[in-house]
A and B are shown apart, each in its own frame.
Chain A
Amino acid sequence: MVQLFLESDRVAELVAHLMKQKSVFAPHAKGRKSFAFEEVKDPSAAVLDYPRVMHSIRKFFFPPQETLMTFDLKENTCSVAETPAADAIFFGVHSYDLGAVHRLDYNFSEGNPEKNYIARRQGAVFVGVSYKPDEFHFSGSVGIDPYDTAGFDIFLTKLLDGYIVEALTPVGEGLLDGIELPAHEAGKPARGHFQQHIYLPQAKLGQVMDGSYQNEVWDDTAKKCVGCGTCNLVCPTCYCFTVEDEVNVQVTGGSRDRRWDGCMLRDFSAVAGGEVFRETLAERQRHRVFRKFKYISDETGQPWCVGCGRCTACCTAGISIVNIINRLVGDYEKVAVTPI
């Protein structure tokens, strides 16, 4: 693989070069200390050195709110809404967020392949960037390295004074055509260390989860959890949604829209007649964690958590999914080493 070198102060130049070819989306500073993926208007506003963006790039393929169809109440007819292909370069994506996109690709392809997601997903080009794990990341424990280039068209590895640039696909090579970058000879630096770990190899997590249904950790976290749903909404592999009809003031038509939903919310499992199938916060927390570490994982052999740390970083109650898993691991090992 040819490795090129991009000096830090030429990043904007690379962004501008890419913008000539397709629209480019990249992290931008937002609020006091947050970052959000937005379309680049000013190449120098794109940020490469950031801990995590609030919403992963899933928001471009599976938008927070999306019209599924529009309807005409007079004619009683409906027509399907447009779902244009992304057809853009996503610049500065962390490896766990691309891992999450691959998981969503699976969810929206399996069973009944869904046009909305799959159509929007077309033409997406990914330029990755390495990152230095902060106090929340634990991707290493779910098998996603900060330098993991899998699925990227171009990958940028951070050095002190710039980035190693690798084109990994013909598309990536094509995008770099026309920008002069010197070769990089020295090899890659050591990867950053994770501060957060799951204390068990990923391959064994399945066994841990099998014995964790009745664990006390669910009740314990439920005492602190306020059921706000934030942990679902920020998770790059959450794909649940709800659907609602909106009607215009003239009452002549409207749209059927979907928006992100979450299994931590009480009304998620409520049905007419007042039955709530996951009534307690403990049951809901367990469902969330099992969805990340067991249910789909049993089917695919992969954790459905990519270790981005968002749910923990954003939980005002400070509930940490790593701590939950580690408590399960601890209890599993206690049981496992105690002869019966």
Chain B
Amino acid sequence: MINFEMVSPDNAKDLYLPVMAEIIKVEQMTELETLYTVALPDGAELGHKPGQFVELSIFGVGEAPFSISSSPTMPGVFELGVRKVGMLTEVLSRMQPGQKVGIRGPFGNGIDLENFKGKDVLIVAGGIGLVPMRSMINYVIDNQQDFGKLHIVYGARTDSELLFEDELERWTADAGIDYRVTVDQGSSEWTGPTGVITTLIPGLELDLANTVCCICGPPVMYRFALMALKSKGLPERNIYMSLERRMKCGVGKCGHCQINSSYVCHDGPVYHYPEIKSLQEAL
């Protein structure tokens, strides 16, 4: 027999019932991506960590996981940056301020802040991977005293797909932030570098032993980013990555998000590289 005690019904939770949260603001960022500012009822705080996500539902349409893009240091509301790719995100893209969506969460482990504190922070974000990483970036900016230097490496397919343009400008202007951006293919107006994101890594000036990195991007990006970081000399134990898998429940029950034995919704989405190196399905 398995050694454990079944929980009593009083201590079990209605895991799937969302609370109704209000969309406060809708900002079109690019053709496909929109930033939503969302408020929980009665001014409740979401109470998340950078790297966590919520399950957003629209009744009759469904539910999907979205990373929390705002920093926990932003009070009262939180932000989600959503790319229109399918059924739910299409319907969401038509929603207006004042309308309500269901929210469950925050879920997932989030970034292990203790291991980033006192260190230089390197964020490597590809495409929509900037959405979750932005939570950490703004957290570091708002708590500068706890962290060393902030490096941000960001790549998008084209300059028209760059997200959070105002913030990108601020990061560029901020002498305290080492912000670098590249696009795979620039338009005629693009003056920055072109090429895939990994081309930016060799040029970074890093205090290798004292820099902790977090990577987030499309599935193909991880392996190449890792290779570049390793050949740069960044120790593996300083690398974290935020992964994406199909999710149906967000609470470690439905089985969809599994990477080998690990539940991304519960044990992830942010993984310490040495811990998932041995999981063959991870990268």
Contact = CB atoms under 8 A, between A and B. Distances in A.
B192 interface: no
B110 to A, nearest CB: 16
A245 B2 contact: no
A301 B245 CA distance: 27
A114 B251 CA distance: 9
Nearest to B85: A272
A269 B60 contact: no
B219 A247 contact: no
Contacts of B261: 290, 294-296, 298-299
A335 interface: no
A74 to B, nearest CB: 10
Interface in A220-249: 239-245, 247
Contacts of B258: 263, 287, 295
A338 interface: no
Interface string B54-88: 00010111110000000000000000000001100
Interface residues of B, number: 48
Nearest to B220: A275
B246 A110 contact: no
Contacts of B16: 68-69, 80, 116, 243, 256
B14 to A, nearest CB: 5
Contact of B254 (A76, A111, A240, A270): A240
Interface stretch (A17-25, A40-48, A118-126): A118-126
Nearest to B107: A112
A1 B20 CA distance: 56
B128 to A, nearest CB: 10
A213 interface: yes
A71 B248 CA distance: 18
A268 B246 contact: yes
30 contacts: A68-B16, A69-B16, A76-B20, A76-B100, A80-B14, A80-B16, A109-B4, A112-B251, A112-B266, A113-B12, A115-B13, A115-B14, A115-B15, A118-B6, A122-B9, A239-B253, A241-B253, A243-B16, A243-B248, A244-B62, A251-B60, A254-B59, A256-B59, A269-B256, A271-B246, A272-B85, A287-B258, A295-B260, A296-B261, A302-B2
Interface of B: 1-9, 11-18, 20, 57, 59-63, 85-86, 89, 100, 102, 219, 244-246, 248-249, 251-256, 258-261, 266, 280-281
Interface of A: 68-69, 71-73, 76-80, 85, 102-103, 105-116, 118-119, 121-122, 150-151, 213, 239-245, 247, 251, 254, 256, 258, 261, 263, 268-273, 275, 277-278, 283, 287, 290, 294-296, 298-302
